[in-house]
Amino acid sequence: MKIKDWAPEDRPREKLLEKGISSLTDAELIAILLGSGTKDETAVEVAKRILKNSDNNLNELGKLGVNDLIKEKGLGPARAITIIAALELGRRRKVSESNEKMVIKSSRDAFEIFQPLIGDLSHEEFWVVFLNRANKVIDKKKISQGGITGTVTDIRLIMKDAVNILASGIILCHNHPSGNNKPSDADIKITKKVKEAAQLFDINLLDHLIVADKNYLSFADEGLI
């Protein structure tokens, strides 16, 4: 059954036009992306099932790839790619919004920059933000990418970039896909090594954040730097 064949009150597109985008549920928004349902389910019912299998959590849905989504009845590669593309646009919008606030005054400010980048990834990534003396962000860069349980960080790459752009301060950040934001021994060791290397170039390591979805741990706040 296609959306155009539904009763008017059940049509997400018409509902959007009449009542506004905020009136639509997550399932109805996904139904618009799907365009139509299956022989046995409407697009909204398919969307509800997809959400239910992701714990009704868009962040969890955003972690799925094409191979994960096509396991759902009624989803082929094209529809799966459409959903992934829409969620990626949402993530990039969050990144754009965070870029507007480019002065770091607290660990929360840093978290708001990093969370849209790595908060919902299923693998680890290690990032660095480079700042000037006024703590204004000069640049941010992904240093490494790993698997589910870890990533290898090359301190030389961090220092090379920091020196090249004349950074006065740096903030490290990596994510824990497990959701546990407690620092490991390896996290503590790499933080110490980066701090020591940065001091040789008169660069301050201001913080190291561990992002675990919507939560984070700040080494500076915890007195670990």
Asked if residue 151 lies in contact with residue 125, where contact means CB atoms within 8 angstroms, the answer is yes
Give pLDDT tens digits for 119-139: 888 889 999 999 999 999 999
Rounded distance between C-alpha atoms, residue 13 and residue 36, angstroms: 12
**Cβ neighbours around 43 below 10 Å, total:** 27
Domains and CATH numbers, the chain: 3-95 (1.10.150), 101-218 (3.40.140.10)
Higher pLDDT, 112 or 148: 112
Percent of the chain residues past pLDDT 90, beyond the cut: 59
As a whole number, mean pLDDT of residues 204-225 equals 94
Give the integer Cα–Cα distance in Å for 8 and 12.
Answer: 9
Q: Is the dihedral of CA 43, 49, 51, 54 positive or negative?
A: negative
Q: Stretch 63-78: mean pLDDT, rounded?
A: 91
For 136-164, the pLDDT digits (tens) are 999 999 999 886 556 778 899 999 999 99
**Mean pLDDT score of the chain:** 88
Taking the CA atoms of residue 179, residue 185, residue 188 and residue 192 in that order, the dihedral angle to the nearest 10 degrees is: -160
Angle between helices 77-99 and 26-34 (to 10 degrees): 130
Q: What is the mean pLDDT of residues 44-68?
A: 90
Q: What is the mean pLDDT of residues 167-176?
A: 96
